[in-house]
Amino acid sequence: MIGIFDSGVGGLTVVKQVIQALPQYKIIYFGDTARIPYGSRSEAIIKKYSLQDTEFLLEKNAEIIVIACHTASAVAADYLREKFPQTKIFDVVQPGLDQALKVTRSKRIGIIGTEATVKSEVHERYLKKIDPQTKVFYQACPLLVPLVEEGWLKRQETRRIVRYYLKSLKKNKIDTLVLACTHYPLLAKIITEIAGKSVKVVDPAQEVAIQIKEYLQKNPTVVAKLTKNGQQHEFYASDVSDQFLNISHKILGKNISVKSAEVT
């Protein structure tokens, strides 16, 4: 199975892209909704939670791990790779940045994410390593994850908050904007409208699905281990709320059965 975890419901945007790219493979998803958000936590706690999430998926026989949470990707990806050297672990940071470098014209790239994601500065280090001329502009958006989790996807209050967050990035004349949180694609329409036609918005969820597909094409031994009953995906959450079920329907376009699971 392909194991995917996130701090909440937003990681289902990655699930959706992986299903579209690789419909034949079974996916197991865990959303740590009881402990969301990760973005305001300390580095030590983020690593601890990410380790527990990964162990849960591996115990469920996942052969590949996808860190759908940008905060966990930025803070804990290398830590998890050291802990599980025999497991292929994908994160959502690098694929989105590779795409941003492809589409930017001015080399002025904006990154929006949680406070922990922004504080890590992993995006700037990666981009400047490839192209030192790249200018990176960050904006932490701590209110967006709670708004998505509450289902406030079309509210005027949400629009005003997005406009406030993007103000400094627009002032800095970015031409590319990376959605460095898996919750943000649910607000992509509002974000794209406010960012303006001159700004290319990059959704890393699409790019990580492509990366996984390319990896499997080159690794038939891994493919042989994957379960291929793609219609029987498994979904778990540490707190199964009505809101989680409602938003999951909006993301995946259908009702899903979500089991409660506690990770320790």
Residues 192 and 101 in one domain: yes
Instruction: Output the pLDDT for position 258.
Output: 95
Q: Render pLDDT for 40-88 as a digit per residue (tens, 0 to 9).
A: 899 999 999 999 999 999 999 999 999 999 899 999 999 999 999 999 9
Query: Is 69 assigned a catalytic role?
Result: yes
* Half-sphere exposure of residue 30: CA atoms within 13 angstroms, side-chain side: 28
| Structural domain range at position 230 | 2-91+205-260
- Report the relative pairing of strands 108-113 and 64-67 from DSSP bridges: unpaired
Residues 67 and 132 in one domain: no
User: Quick one: CA dihedral 178, 180, 185, 191, positive or negative?
Assistant: negative
142: burial class by Cβ within 10 Å (0-12, 13-18, 19+)?
A: middle
Residues 194 and 212 in one domain: no
Q: Which of 12, 181, 190, 263 is catalytic?
A: 181
Instruction: Output the pLDDT for position 229.
Output: 67
Strand partners, 259: 236
pLDDT band at 204 (very low <50, low <70, confident <90, very high): very high
Residues 214 and 83 in one domain: yes
Number of domains in the chain: 2
* Mean pLDDT, rounded, for 2-6: 97
Domain end position, chosen among 163, 184, 204: 204
Q: What percent of the chain has pLDDT over 70?
A: 99
Strand partners, 3: 28, 65
* Cα–Cα distance measured from residue 21 to residue 213, given in angstroms and rounded to the nearest whole number: 7
Global model pTM greater than 0.85: yes
Residues 197 and 169 in one domain: yes
Residues 251 and 226 in one domain: yes
* Mean pLDDT, rounded, for 19-33: 95
Q: Which of 9, 14, 66, 69 is catalytic?
A: 69
Query: Is 181 assigned a catalytic role?
Result: yes
Q: Render pLDDT for 82-100 as a digit per residue (tens, 0 to 9).
A: 999 999 999 999 999 999 9
Cis, peptide link before residue 132, omega less than 30° from 0: no
Residues 56 and 179 in one domain: no
